[in-house]
Amino acid sequence: MEDRAITTSRGFINPQTSPDADSSVLQIWGGYPLQGHVKISGAKNSALAIIAGSLLCPEDCRIRNVPSLVDVTRMGQILLALGVKLDQNGDILDINASGIRQSQAPYELVSQLRASFFVIGPLLARLGVAQIPLPGGCTIGARPVELHVRGLQAMGADVQIEHGMVNAYVTGKNRKLKGAEIYLSYPSVGATETLMMAATLAEGETTIENAAQEPEVMDLANFCNSMGARIRGAGTNTITISGVTRLHSTDYSIIPDRVEAGTYLVAGAITHSELSLLSVVPDHLTAVIAKLREVGVQVVVEAANQLRIIPGQSIMATDIETLPYPGFPTDMQAQFMALLALSEGDSLITETVFENRLRHVAELNRMGADIRVKGNNAIVRGVPMLTGAPVVATDLRASAALVLAALAAKGKTTIQGLHHLDRGYEKLEEKLLSLGAKLQRVPESSVDADGRASNPDLLTSQSN
Ligand code: EPZ
């Protein structure tokens, strides 16, 4: 990597969200077919873990294919608060954590981004101490972190939780974490990533049994190994990490976002449009592709990193159960529900990963869907048509589901709660406009009382 002193912290002024994300709405006119191709951005859930992982390295790290998202910006701001130097140029992030000044992450930043808890492992590994506010729950669930905490305790950290703070420090003379045998009672993605990062600089060998197998876990392991870590088995349910004393600089590119890719596949299916997706990893979408084929949609691997979706005449019903990878991803549940709302027949969707991830049902029903919730099950009775309506996004993937439903609905949909959308979808409006969708983001105040629409046919990819 070029010898580039990272001297500034440019770029971390929230590039993605319009200042008034909370007071803007997205107006979408449905029924327009889509066409063309869309390039998939870097994976949000890889970027967040890998940015935290750069704290393990006392030298320059260059990370490429970083999506411009609010969550990524917030993670960068947390590193800045810890004394890390960052320089962002487009999708390239240069990080230097040689001068970490402190071990406490600021509450006002952590409270906005649960994933900031990922810094606890690297801070303990580098400094032997970390004070991280306990990440709150969110709309989809309580999101506890006891698996992270127990694993760190097994590695020799003393962890106390009081007054909403997780105070952790490594006992012992050299304040080094020790390798340990860890079994996760649930294959938690975050706990696997926290413990894998902590173990990279521990003394001895750590084994994580019943580890998460998500592609983002593999991506993080590959990133750490590119800095000289010794991680084996990532992507399987048993990961072994042999601790090393120091990591070195790297130049690493993040994998494409499989959830963004799955969302655009569903956009093609729900609007009966043929679309091509560029810069995807088909192997990361096996469960989603299998389900799309089950409902009558053709998905063709056009090249090593390109997919094409060719819809059938109609959407068949099917059942879905969300599971840890390689099962059907919970992050695609809401989007697939929007598709099945327009299927022929009844579908049963069971959400097994999070306890409260069916809140999009009420909003989809406002658009004419026929969905009933029983516990963590949603019974989706397909309807011939959805109709546009004012709806409110309740979480990141729910907001994506509402966008998809709006693209297929008859008439205009107005979506509030865009701060959810901005967390996880880079340039969503721009990408959809380029595919021929008719949508615009407008200040809420500009929407007439009767929701009178501007002429959707004027909305083209040249729209501002
Ligand atoms: C990651 O969250 C993702 N986020 C989530 O994506 C994703 O839905 C989830 O993994 C599952 O795939 C990031 O990577 C930043 P978990 P994480 O720990 O790590 C319970 C999105 O939309 N659990 O695998 O928090 C937990 O309550 C987001 O992009 C414990 O009980 O997920 C949940 O029910 C949403 N104790 C289940 O495990 C713990 O200590 C799965 O959580 C940890 C987790």
pLDDT digit string, tens, across residues 224-259: 999 999 999 999 999 999 999 999 999 999 999 999
Give pLDDT, residue 7: 34
Per-residue CA distances from 464 to 26, 54, 404, 429, 457 (Å): 13, 36, 21, 10, 14
Atom of ligand 1 nearest to the CA of 143: 27
Closest residue to atom 38 of ligand 1, CA basis: 188
Kindly state the average pLDDT of the residues 405-411.
98
Residue 456: pLDDT band by 50, 70, 90 thresholds? low
Does residue 461 register a pLDDT over 50?
A: yes
Distance between CA atoms of residues 373 and 350, nearest Å: 10
Does residue 454 register a pLDDT over 70?
A: no
Full strand arrangement of the beta sheet holding 320-321: 320-321, 346-350, 377-381, 370-374
Cβ-count burial 138-177 (b if 16+ within 10 Å, e if not)? eebeeeebebbbbbbebbbbebeeeeebbbbbbeeeeebb
Per-residue CA distances from 429 to 203, 226, 277 (Å): 48, 35, 16
Residue 330 Cβ contacting ligand 1 at under 6 Å: yes
Give pLDDT, residue 449: 52
DSSP notation for 407-449: HHSBSEEEEE-HHHHHHH-TTHHHHHHHTT-EEEEEEGGGS-T
User: What is the per-residue pLDDT across 43-80, written as a single tens digit (0 to 9) for each?
Assistant: 999 999 999 999 999 999 999 999 999 999 999 999 99
Does residue 19 register a pLDDT over 70?
A: no
Q: Which one-letter amino acid corresponds to residue 337?
A: M
Give pLDDT, residue 255: 98
- Domain 5-41+256-463 is found in CATH 1.10.579.10: no
Give pLDDT, residue 72: 95
Closest residue to atom 42 of ligand 1, CA basis: 188
CA atoms within 13 A on the CB side of 279: 13
Closest residue to atom 8 of ligand 1, CA basis: 331
User: What is the per-residue pLDDT across 175-196, written as a single tens digit (0 to 9) for each?
Assistant: 899 999 999 999 999 999 999 9
Give pLDDT, residue 10: 53
Residue 95 Cβ contacting ligand 1 at under 6 Å: no
Residues of the chain with pLDDT > 70, as a percent, come to: 91
Any idea where the domains of the chain sit in the sequence?
Answer: 5-41+256-463, 44-253
- If 0-12 CB within 10 Å is exposed, 13-18 middle and 19+ buried, where does residue 185 land? exposed
Does residue 157 register a pLDDT over 60?
A: yes
Residue 186 Cβ contacting ligand 1 at under 6 Å: yes
> At 23, is the secondary structure helix, strand, or coil?
helix
Element (H, E) at 162: strand 157-162
Give pLDDT, residue 432: 98
User: What is the per-residue pLDDT across 364-401, written as a single tens digit (0 to 9) for each?
Assistant: 999 999 999 999 999 999 999 999 999 999 999 999 99
Alpha helix stretches (DSSP H) within 276-416 = 286-294, 333-340, 360-366, 396-408
- If 0-12 CB within 10 Å is exposed, 13-18 middle and 19+ buried, where does residue 76 land? buried
pTM above 0.85, yes or no: yes
Asked which of 124-133, 168-177, 273-282, 348-357 is least confident by mean pLDDT, the reply is 168-177
Give pLDDT, residue 16: 46
Distance between CA atoms of residues 286 and 291, nearest Å: 9
Give pLDDT, residue 430: 97
* Residue showing tokens 């890390």: 84
Residue 87 Cβ contacting ligand 1 at under 6 Å: no
Give yes or no on whether 5-41+256-463 and 44-253 have one common fold: yes
- Domain 44-253 is found in CATH 3.40.50.620: no
Residue 397 Cβ contacting ligand 1 at under 6 Å: yes
User: Phi and psi for 326 in degrees, rounded to 5?
Assistant: -90, 20
Closest residue to atom 7 of ligand 1, CA basis: 331
Does residue 101 register a pLDDT over 80?
A: no
Give pLDDT, residue 457: 62
Kindly state the average pLDDT of the residues 433-453.
79
**Residue 203 bridge partners (DSSP):** 178
Distance between CA atoms of residues 43 and 400, nearest Å: 16
Distance between CA atoms of residues 70 and 78, nearest Å: 12
Give pLDDT, residue 21: 61
Give pLDDT, residue 111: 86
DSSP notation for 164-218: TEEEEEE-STT---B--EEE-SS--HHHHHHHHHHHTTSBSEEEEET----HHHH
Q: What is the mean pLDDT of the chain?
A: 92
Phi-psi region of 92 (alpha: psi -120 to 50; beta: other; left: phi over 0): beta
Atom of ligand 1 nearest to the CA of 259: 29
Q: Which one-letter amino acid corresponds to residue 218?
A: M
Distance between CA atoms of residues 58 and 122, nearest Å: 11
Give pLDDT, residue 173: 73
Kindly state the average pLDDT of the residues 403-431.
96
Q: Determine contact, residues 285/297, Cβ cutoff 8 Å.
A: no
